[in-house]
Amino acid sequence: MKRIAKTVVLGLFFSVTFLFIAASDGFSEEYESLIGLQSVKAVFDVRKGDLKSVASMFNLIHDTYRDKSIRAVSKKPEFAIVLSGPAVSFVSKNWKGFELKEQKDLDRIAVKIAAMSKDGIKIEICSLAAKVFNVEASSILPGIKHVHNGWISLIGYQSNGYSLIPVY
């Protein structure tokens, strides 16, 4: 009986070890572009004017930030989001002009922004774009930093080694 228990324990140990090794190798094989990297830095240029798309993109950005492959390279990746163009309308607490069915997506965006901000993703809004799209500065969701010109922010991030990901 002891011999059977010992065999089962050893079998489980080797199975778990094999699965761990296989999973580790799988990350690098799937994303050859990540091999050799010491850190991950990305800035997302979000300008899209479609509410559902922006809500989905925020989910995808957050999922990417938390992805095991990204975390294998960098325990704390550096992500930033710069909002400009019509996308600035979706990060306001003022939902006037939005239909009831659209408010679900606005709520999803608000919840996602709070979660991303809590995780350390920097989120900025272009004040010039907010003014053009009649979004009051005081109505911007918490966790979003106001910058005068989003393009200057994008230039700074890229100059500091962030990869640009356009979301148009």
CATH number at residue 101: 3.40.1260.10
Q: Are 47 and 18 in a shared domain? A: no
Q: Are 110 and 55 in a shared domain? A: yes
Q: Which domain range does residue 6 map to?
A: 1-30
Q: What is the pLDDT along the chain (168 residues), one digit of tens a residue?
A: 555 545 444 344 434 343 444 444 444 458 999 999 999 999 999 999 999 999 999 999 999 999 999 999 988 999 999 999 999 999 999 999 899 999 999 999 999 999 999 999 999 999 999 999 999 999 999 999 999 999 999 999 999 999 999 998
Alpha-carbon torsion (80, 85, 86, 91), positive or negative: positive
Q: Which amino acid is at 11?
A: G
Q: What's the pLDDT at 17?
A: 41
**CB of 54 within 8 A of CB of 90?**
yes
**CB of 118 within 8 A of CB of 75?**
no
| Residue listed under structure tokens 């240029």 | 45
Tokens representing 64 are: 């990417």
Q: Are 5 and 43 in a shared domain? A: no
Q: Are 107 and 154 in a shared domain? A: yes
Cα–Cα distance between 155 and 126 in angstroms, integer?
13
In the chain, the number of structural domains is 2
Q: Are 135 and 57 in a shared domain? A: yes
Main-chain phi, psi angles of 140, to 5 degrees = -65, 140
Q: Are 24 and 46 in a shared domain? A: no
